Chain A
Amino acid sequence: MSKISRRDFLKTIGGAGLIASTVPSTFLTDLYAFSTSANLSQVEAWFYKKLPDKEIKCELCPRYCKLGDKERGYCGVRENKNGIYYTLVYGKVCAAHIDPIEKKPFFHFLPGTPAFSIATAGCNVNCKFCQNWQISQVRPEQVENVDLPPRDVVRYCLKYRCPTIAYTYTEPVIFYEYVYDTSVEASKKRIRNVVVTGAHINPEPMEKLTKVVDAIKIDFKAFSEDFYQKYVRGELEPVLEAARIVKKSGKWMEIVYLVIPTLNDSPEEIRKMCKWVIKDIGPDVPVHFSRFHPMYLIKNLPPTPVSTLERARNIALEEGINYVYIGNVPGHMAESTYCPNCKNIVIKRFAYQILQKNLKRGKCKFCGQPIPGVWS
């Protein structure tokens, strides 16, 4: 099957802006020293039910794929083999980089630190605007994978002094077992774990995941079921439920809303989402309104006008959300964190760089207002 060469892969990822300037040159050399994996993993999956006649029902995500022998789920990375359901991507990494944590984006989680960021192929939705479709909308055979078992992820984190592992780029839900085991392994070395997800996941696995990771960034693709059905091939309600579970767990959470012109940018929809945030997960959860760029199956729309993003931000502030950011617009004032009390800049950013930090033990240096987040 179609494999992306390393050169193409780097080009692709580079094009998507995923290689950070902070990547040590030796890291890439090291990465290529990993053994390239010709075979896929055969690790029994979690969260599935065996049915008669060698059929299975996957219970990881709200799709509940029911599969016969030799069939794969919608995600393309889990396969029923003779009545046993396997993950094919455990430890099979198709993207690995050292990124600033701001790139995820996490703005209230160890700012200015690098995150060892990994992904496997596959995804359990099919967003028509996916920015990483070359690795998310493929089967694992169609990309180049390297073997990176949990202990090696931890080893490289320590070597490159990354305080955090980020499970990102594609959809960590579909490499759940790998995320879980790596997180457990990393925690032993006091390495943090963050998950960047669309959160199209069932409550039980989400609850279990919150027990081993430190922070979760959830993408809201829109705030309507209609949009989710049409442009995501998923459902909104399970995503909202997942966010409530994260909130209940006490783990750090940030929300990203990719604003797509004409499709999910109406003031009414944005306001509805903000009201939900206030009511269900609270005003201190940071919300990032990100700029859309034409990609994958939606190439007929222009990039989001900055004024639309600013309008969304104003609505969120009006509704009472304390930390509202604008993403993918380098140099915009809304990249910085402002103290909701004295309005001074607490963290000044330019793109992924931290220019100034006016934070003392988690409080605003100017007025002493506690700023929620994980700061150390």
Chain B
Amino acid sequence: MRKSRVVLIKGKGVLSDNQINIKILSVMLRKGLSLLGQVNNFHEALIQFFTPRDKVGIKINTIAGKKLSTKPQVSLALANLLNQVGIKERNIIIWDRTNKELKGAGYRLNYNGSGIRIFGTDTRGINYEYNLTIHRNIGSRFSKIQSKLINKSISLAILKDHGIAGITGVMKNYFGAIHNPNKYHDTNCDPYIAELSEVGLIKNKNKLSILDGLIVQYHRGPSYHSQWAEKCECFILSTDPVASDFIGWQLIEKIRKKKGLPTLEEEKRKPYYLFTAEKMGLGKANLNEIQLIEYEV
């Protein structure tokens, strides 16, 4: 069976005094994508997943405020790469649940203006679908951004410890695409995260998963706590969302061990949903099934 490829790309100096070094960031994304696609450059990699006619959503993660959200420089750098392969700026949407959270994370909203569009589901005229999408244990209204405005999506999530789910990454990021994520936090969010990932609107549209590990909240997440936030200066890229979250989990466990913290399993919050997702055929949650490429720029 073919292994899932995951790229862990590190960029020393990409974060300095909490400021992003755009040059290093750009090299990280370009190199990361080309390693993922096993091609010469990011362009060749991106055209494996996208065409110039696509409308692409970049689902970011802005719930935890400015200090622990997808930084505008990161999502805009990715959007620019998409633009460089021919996708029109207007057809790229950087989005999350609410405009308030986007603004809180430092984004300048752009719904109707020229350029890359940035707005939340709560934008007037957008909102959630009126009808429920029902799938296994999921019964939710989807953001119309995910259901109507885009045909392909990228989950660009922050890697964080999560008090219930164990970790939150590219899969759980899509909780922000439905109206009732609060209803799916029982039993370590298992099987809900996996089942949501199996819904066609996500499974069929998500072409790329990128975990932002510039700063990793390795304990007491998903809220920001500076004392448990580690500068890791990395991204984890894959086309397999389960595998990228699995590698993200390993990274969190590694930091926790270094800091003398118990494992997530010992804290009864091992991310079981990853194994459920694997059983459902959504991806790989097993190191033997993952081809991990580590690279430092």
Contact = CB atoms under 8 A, between A and B. Distances in A.
Determine chain B's interface SS by DSSP, over half rule: loop
A1 B128 contact: yes
Contacts of B222: 68, 71
B122 A141 contact: yes
Interface in A104-155: 126, 128, 137-139, 141-142
Contacts of A71: 222-223
Interface string A1-20: 11100001000000000000
B163 A66 contact: yes
Interface residues of B, number: 28
B98 interface: yes
Contact of A1 (B122, B129, B132): B122
B179 A68 contact: no
Interface in A219-274: 233
Contacts of B163: 55, 66-68
A278 to B, nearest CB: 33
Contact of B179 (A8, A67, A69, A139): A139
Interface stretch (B22-30, B51-59, B182-190, B284-292): B182-190
Contacts of B224: 69
Interface in B153-178: 163
A205 to B, nearest CB: 20
B267 to A, nearest CB: 12
A62 interface: no
Contact of B121 (A1, A55, A66, A76): A1
B139 A296 contact: yes
A2 B127 contact: yes
A54 interface: yes
Q: Interface size class for chain A?
A: 20 to 34
B180 A53 contact: no
A233 B179 contact: no
A68 B223 contact: yes
B225 interface: yes
A333 interface: no
B270 interface: no
A132 to B, nearest CB: 14
A72 interface: yes
Contacts of A355: none
B97 interface: yes
B145 to A, nearest CB: 12
A74 interface: yes
A109 B166 CA distance: 49
A54 B223 contact: yes
Given A68-B220, A70-B65, A74-B182, 14 more contacts: A1-B98, A3-B127, A54-B223, A69-B223, A70-B63, A71-B223, A73-B182, A74-B186, A75-B182, A76-B180, A76-B182, A138-B180, A141-B122, A296-B139
27 contacts: A1-B97, A1-B122, A1-B179, A2-B121, A2-B127, A54-B223, A66-B163, A68-B221, A68-B222, A68-B223, A69-B223, A70-B64, A71-B222, A71-B223, A72-B182, A74-B183, A74-B185, A75-B182, A126-B183, A128-B139, A137-B183, A139-B180, A141-B98, A233-B183, A296-B132, A296-B139, A297-B134
